[in-house]
Amino acid sequence: MKQYSDLEYLRLSKGQKFTYKLTSLLAAIPRGIGRFFANIGKGIKNGVVGLGSELKDIGATFAHGDWKTKTSYLVMGFGNLARGQILRGLLFLLFEVVFIVYMIFGGAHWMSMLPSLGKVGPTSEYNAVLDTYTTVYNDNSFKILLYGVLTIFFIIAFIYTWRVNVKQNKIMEQILKSGKKLKADKDDLRSMVDENFHATLLALPMTGILVFTVLPIVFMILVAFTNYDGSHNGYSNNLFTWVGLTNFNTMLSWTGGTGGGQSYSATFGEILAWTLIWAFLATFTNYFLGMGVAMMINKKGIRLKKVWRTILVMTIAIPQFISLLYVSKMFARNGLINLSLMDLGWIKQPLPFWEDATWARVTVVLINIWIGIPHLMLITTGILMNIPADLYESARIDGANAWQQYRKITLPYMLFITGPYLLTSFTGNMNNFNVIYLLTGGAPTNPAASGAAGSVGYTDLLITWLFKITTGADSQYYLASVVGIMVFVVVAFISLVVYNVLPSIKNEEDYQ
């Protein structure tokens, strides 16, 4: 593709500019993807090289180290203790003891069960005392997978700590050799509120994220490779086990789904398409209309600015489930709008707001505008007021009308500043569970997709479908997990492309 310089670009006609922009945007996509894979490759290479030098350093430290250092390879923290850093030494030692005890009394067991996810399911055994058969629960696949993952985390943490322990010995030896003094325990404690204050502050939040977000996500990714569902709950009915890529095959296969309905891939494709359309509409209708409202309120000469703003802001405060549920019922077949219109005699039949696919989709987007505009109004107000007033002043002197001012000053400025916000808002809308679920619950039902797990409707997003799969009759957690991974892939792909393309768009915006 031909690259234009700034001057050449300015000389192009409007149509040429547009095609140029479009082609350069499209051309940037493969480049972005290429960059992504190049980065992954680079990462792997750096990882391998880094590992090599780490191993070399570990060996060298052992070879050149004194007996205190060498003992530390087995007894963590020994070097610290022997050299007077009691606090650090005790912590290292404690961690090692805890790790060993955990591995002996559980970790090893969970790890050994991980490849099979349990061997013996619940059995029925004769109970001589009660003269009946009672169910005896044996292995628990769920716990095996959960604690297996936890154990792997623990092992990684141990290896890392061990490495730190070795490195510390090396550093201590260097310090002592150069004749300086080691840090005392008092200094270590003080550093927790001083140079290492960040570690103190991050300890609690990161532990929470690790246990309640990272661990569950790793777990759920692994579930996509098992047959965990309602009838294989891994404990009280059947164990679940690894099934490889079967679930991905099911989701992407072109053959019919269960019950002879539409194939999963067709259902998935339809829902994905609607999810993207929805995210696009929801983001940009809100964005432009919200900006419009903000500009109206901001306009010079409009009075009662605070009142208008407060009215809109007030609607943010009301919990969404109230407003969404209420509005949802208002548009229902026997809801306020239909009933009053029929009472007035304007319509004979109730309008199919939630019964017809197109009606439902349009209504959802419209109500989302109602929900979203106050937010966008707030966000854009601040930015609009930041646009230098002299830009407009000079534009007016040059004879630009209001529309031209908007096109050439306001919009580029807004897009420039809110670019990242638009991206997060797009991906946020893709996962906008509340609006869809509380308004329609996914309705109206898509009869063609009846074979897929959960009941699929025309307004279902991937995220509401995921929820329906897990709460549906069969609770096909493995499929929900596959859908979740797909959502991640789509979101990550879009973010990646946009992030890589964004700067080029911005630069072009600059010289308009």
Rule CB under 8 A: which of 245-304 touch other proteins?
Answer: 293, 296-297, 299, 301-302
**Interface with other proteins includes 201 (CB under 8 A)?**
yes
Distance CA 288, CA 90 (A): 60
**Interface with other proteins includes 317 (CB under 8 A)?**
yes
Give how far Cα 288 sits from Cα of 177, 433, 435, Å: 67, 22, 19
Give bridge partners of residue 133 from the DSSP assignment: 126
- The conformational region for residue 472 under phi > 0 = left, psi -120 to 50 = alpha, else beta, is beta
Q: Count other Cβ atoms within 10 Å, centred on residue 360.
A: 22
Q: How far is the CB of 330 from other proteins (least distance, A)?
A: 7
Q: How far is the CB of 402 from other proteins (least distance, A)?
A: 8
Count of all residues that appear for the chain in the document = 512
Phi and psi at residue 263, to the nearest 5°: -70, 160
- Site residues for other proteins, 217-246, by CB under 8 A, read 217, 219-220, 223
Distance CA 156, CA 82 (A): 26
Range in contact with other proteins (rule: CB under 8 A) among 20-28, 116-124, 130-138, 309-317: 309-317
3-state helix, strand, coil in the chain (%, to 5): 70, 5, 25
> CB of 109 within 8 A of CB of 122?
no
Range in contact with other proteins (rule: CB under 8 A) among 48-56, 93-101, 124-132, 367-375: 367-375
Q: Which residues contact 382 (CB under 8 A, 6 or more apart)?
A: none
- Site residues for other proteins, 471-500, by CB under 8 A, read 471, 477, 480-481, 484, 487-488, 491-492, 495
Phi and psi at residue 455, to the nearest 5°: -95, 125
- Nearer to other proteins (CB atom), residue 6 or residue 54: 54
**Interface with other proteins includes 419 (CB under 8 A)?**
yes
Candidate residues 98, 156, 318, 347; the one interacting with other proteins per rule CB under 8 A: 318
Distance CA 195, CA 248 (A): 48
Q: How far is the CB of 196 from other proteins (least distance, A)?
A: 9
**Interface with other proteins includes 321 (CB under 8 A)?**
yes
- Nearer to other proteins (CB atom), residue 5 or residue 386: 386
- Site residues for other proteins, 334-363, by CB under 8 A, read 334-336, 339-340, 342-343
Q: How far is the CB of 434 from other proteins (least distance, A)?
A: 7
Nearest partner of 150 among 102, 193, 187, judged by Cα: 102
**Interface with other proteins includes 437 (CB under 8 A)?**
yes
- Site size for other proteins (CB under 8 A): 98
Range in contact with other proteins (rule: CB under 8 A) among 127-135, 161-169, 446-454, 458-466: 458-466
- Site residues for other proteins, 13-72, by CB under 8 A, read none
**Interface with other proteins includes 137 (CB under 8 A)?**
no
Candidate residues 38, 51, 136, 214; the one interacting with other proteins per rule CB under 8 A: 214
Distance CA 65, CA 170 (A): 7
Distance CA 138, CA 236 (A): 9
Nearest partner of 40 among 350, 496, 510, judged by Cα: 496
Q: How far is the CB of 321 from other proteins (least distance, A)?
A: 4
- The conformational region for residue 299 under phi > 0 = left, psi -120 to 50 = alpha, else beta, is beta
**Interface with other proteins includes 11 (CB under 8 A)?**
no
- Site residues for other proteins, 385-404, by CB under 8 A, read 386
**Interface with other proteins includes 171 (CB under 8 A)?**
no
